[in-house]
Amino acid sequence: MKRNGMIFGIVFVAIFALSFLLRFVVPTPTEDFIISVDNYSGNKSSEITVSNAGTTIATIPALSNEESKEIRKKPVDLKPGGLTISYVDKNGKKHESNMDLPDVDSTLNSTLYISFESIKKDGTMNMAITYSHGNVSVSSQE
């Protein structure tokens, strides 16, 4: 009987110690803001900036044709006004697309998906933009 109690105690301490050590070894799940961009337009895209209320959240580099990029950012608290996706075309003209996000106050566990549908010779881009956050999904065509 004492032997069973001693074995149980040793196993319990070993499991407790192992769980404590694994806590530091196994990474915790991240709750990132994911920005996923695809370019299958046939032309190279321009660099894109994603911002909120004048604060840059992420900059996506120019993508070649048939190139994809995924960027993970730490979540940020959103100010009123939603997200602004902007780029500069080959003529130096800045283009902005505003995406209003009702009832969304943070980018925690959110995904922004941008797909270039076509890019004209002057650098003007037609994009499909979708923002997903929990049960909320907002899409726009620019």
Query: Tens of pLDDT along 94-132?
Result: 999 888 887 788 888 889 999 988 888 888 899 999 988
- pLDDT exceeds cutoff 60 at 29: no
Residue 37 has pLDDT above 60, yes or no: yes
Instruction: For the chain, give the mean pLDDT.
Output: 85
Q: How many angstroms separate the Cα of 20 from the Cα of each of 7, 8, 38, 128? A: 20, 18, 41, 46
Residues 16-54 as b/e (b if ≥16 CB within 10 A, e otherwise) read eeeeeeeeeeeeeeeebbbbbbbbebeeebbebbbbbee
Asked if 46 and 87 touch (Cβ cutoff 8 Å), the reply is yes
First to last CA, the chain: 75
State the pTM of this model. 0.73
Residue 138: pLDDT above 60? yes
As a whole number of angstroms, the distance between CA 20 and CA 37 comes to: 39
Write the DSSP symbol of residue 26: S
